[in-house]
């Protein structure tokens, strides 16, 4: 039996993997079911109380796993939004609610009492609102890092990482091949040819040359490529890892050192997040992702380009060893509150950078004026999180009955 999945078997394996990953916890279910969040937004009377903020680029799927340290092209690291698949020009309040829901399910999964949830929401509101004050610094590094939290740990680990760490994880001891196995699957001849053509598209080639600080006429070689099984909500979308080499044109004999790098090629599809009325969105899903990344996450925005492959809209990004996601097994009470404050501040800065002074002031006033008498946070935010938490807990249990229980019995 093959140790990896053949092309004709991909979809069935990816669908089953996604369903089982979502059955691991309510937090995993929330991460993998963005559509349910927006279905609630369309149907709930509580959602009607969410204010309409200024039309800016938002993440659209702002949960804990979609944030983390990102390196810019020079290797400088900042905590930013790292996944923009669902990005749209929309209501910034939606990002705040979705992040609060994600953190709430992580808190409940850590068996922390409900009072921690209330304190966490207050900390989020305080940090998010502070990003829109006149004196606020909107640079990515402006958010004070918490003294002790999971986000501090993952950021420090990211800053220590180098190419050799990425090579060990992705390409086995830095040899110019991608090892096939559980995560990397073989591709067809048509896919390989399409990837080669994609890497020669002007925008993608320019990205590769910029990433390696190489002249535009440098030689680009694709050493290997594989289908990449990664993520949860994105399982089922086309995704590839491409191992490339760059060599200066005046080194045609191969005497100099070839620089190796990994490129991530991912299919872009229509977002389930609603865009603001009357705004004009980019023509293709990949162009939308690129535009959102450049607005929200500067470190990622300078390392991403849009293209087309086998008739699909795809975006390409350079993989950096410092790019990590925040993974939470257990929150302590102190970590939950500190992490919530910090991440809400990061999202606030990403939103504030897109607003002028008067728009920031108006949005800050809208948020501050909706605080409740017993909760130092917007009433609509608390009510939304409570209703969403109940909805997703019920959905998670039904999901487990439909998928995980059958899998257990079959075993």
Segments in the chain below pLDDT 50: 1, 158-165, 172-174, 409-411
Residue 255, both tokens: 């005497």
pLDDT confidence of residue 252: 56
Chain position carrying tokens 């008739």: 311
The separation between the first and the last C-alpha atoms of the chain, rounded to the nearest angstrom, is: 19
Pull the structure tokens for residue 340: 């919530």
What is the torsional sign of CA 130, 132, 135, 136? positive
Q: Is 236 within 8 Å of 22 (Cβ atoms)?
A: no
Q: Are strands 88-90 and 184-185 parallel, antiparallel or unpaired?
A: unpaired
Q: Which residues contact 210 (CB under 8 A, 6 or more apart)?
A: 73, 302
pLDDT at 31: 86
The pLDDT score that the predictor gives to residue 358 is 97
Phi, psi of 123 (to 5 degrees): -65, -40
A 10 A CB-CB count for 126 gives 15
Which residues have C-beta within 8 Å of that of residue 309, sequence separation ≥ 6? 194, 195, 197, 198, 238, 265
How far apart are alpha carbons 59 and 52 in whole angstroms?
16
Q: What is the pLDDT of residue 1?
A: 39
| DSSP reduced 3-state for 278 | coil
- Name the helix (H) or strand (E) containing 13: helix 10-22
CA distance 116 to 289: 34
CB distance 241 to 259 below 8 Å: no
Tokens of residue 294, six digits? 């450049």
- 144, burial (CB in 10 Å: exposed 0-12, middle 13-18, buried 19+): exposed
**What is residue 296's predicted lDDT score, i.e. its pLDDT?**
97
Q: Are strands 67-71 and 259-267 parallel, antiparallel or unpaired?
A: unpaired
The domain spans of the chain are 7-160+326-410, 166-318
Which residues, 6 or more positions from 310, have their beta carbon under 8 angstroms from its beta carbon?
190, 191, 194, 238
The burial of 213, by beta-carbon neighbours within 10 Å (0-12 exposed, 13-18 middle, 19 or more buried), is given as: exposed
| CA dihedral sign, ordered 274, 276, 278, 281 | negative
Residue 310 vs residues 104, 182, 193, 248: alpha-carbon distances, Å: 40, 24, 10, 29
pTM (predicted TM-score) = 0.87
> How far is the CA of 209 from the CAs of 201, 215, 250, in angstroms?
12, 7, 15
Question: Strand 304-309 relative to strand 239-247: parallel, antiparallel, unpaired?
Answer: unpaired
């Amino acid at each position: 039996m093959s140790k990896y999945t053949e092309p004709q078997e991909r979809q069935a394996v990816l669908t089953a993997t996604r369903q089982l990953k979502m059955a691991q916890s309510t937090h995993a279910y929330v991460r993998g079911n963005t559509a349910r969040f927006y279905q609630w937004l369309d149907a709930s009377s509580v959602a009607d109380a969410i204010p309409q903020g200024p039309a800016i680029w938002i993440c659209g799927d702002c949960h804990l796993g979609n944030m983390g340290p990102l390196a810019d092209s020079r290797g400088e690291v900042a905590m930013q939004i790292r996944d923009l698949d669902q990005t749209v020009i929309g209501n910034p309040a939606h990002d705040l609610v979705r992040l609060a829901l994600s953190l709430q399910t992580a808190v409940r999964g850590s068996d922390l009492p409900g009072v921690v949830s209330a304190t966490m929401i207050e900390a989020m509101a305080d940090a998010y609102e502070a990003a829109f004050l006149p004196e606020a610094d909107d640079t990515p590094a402006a958010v004070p890092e918490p003294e002790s939290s999971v986000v501090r740990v993952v950021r420090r680990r990211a800053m220590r990482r180098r190419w050799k760490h990425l090579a060990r994880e992705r390409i086995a001891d830095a040899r110019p091949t991608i090892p096939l196995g559980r995560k990397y699957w073989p591709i067809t001849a048509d896919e390989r040819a399409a990837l080669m053509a994609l890497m020669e598209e002007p925008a993608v080639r320019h990205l590769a040359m910029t990433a390696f600080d190489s002249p535009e006429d440098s030689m680009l070689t694709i050493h290997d490529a594989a289908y990449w099984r990664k993520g949860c909500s994105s399982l089922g979308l086309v995704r590839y890892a491409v191992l490339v080499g760059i060599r200066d044109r005046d080194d045609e004999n191969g005497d100099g050192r070839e620089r190796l790098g990994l490129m991530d090629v991912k299919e872009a599809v229509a977002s389930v997040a609603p865009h603001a009325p009357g705004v004009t969105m980019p023509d293709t899903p990949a162009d939308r992702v690129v535009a959102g990344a450049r607005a929200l996450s500067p470190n990622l925005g300078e390392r991403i380009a849009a293209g087309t492959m086998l008739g699909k809209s795809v975006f390409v990004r350079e993989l950096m060893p410092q790019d990590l996601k925040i993974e939470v097994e257990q929150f302590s009470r102190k970590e939950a509150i500190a992490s919530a404050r910090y991440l809400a501040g990061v999202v606030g800065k990403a939103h504030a950078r897109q607003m002028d002074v008067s728009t920031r002031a108006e949005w800050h006033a809208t948020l501050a004026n909706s605080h409740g008498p017993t909760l130092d946070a917007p009433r609509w935010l608390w009510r939304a999180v409570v209703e969403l938490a109940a909805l997703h807990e019920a959905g998670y249990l039904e999901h487990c009955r439909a998928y995980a229980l059958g899998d257990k019995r079959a075993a």
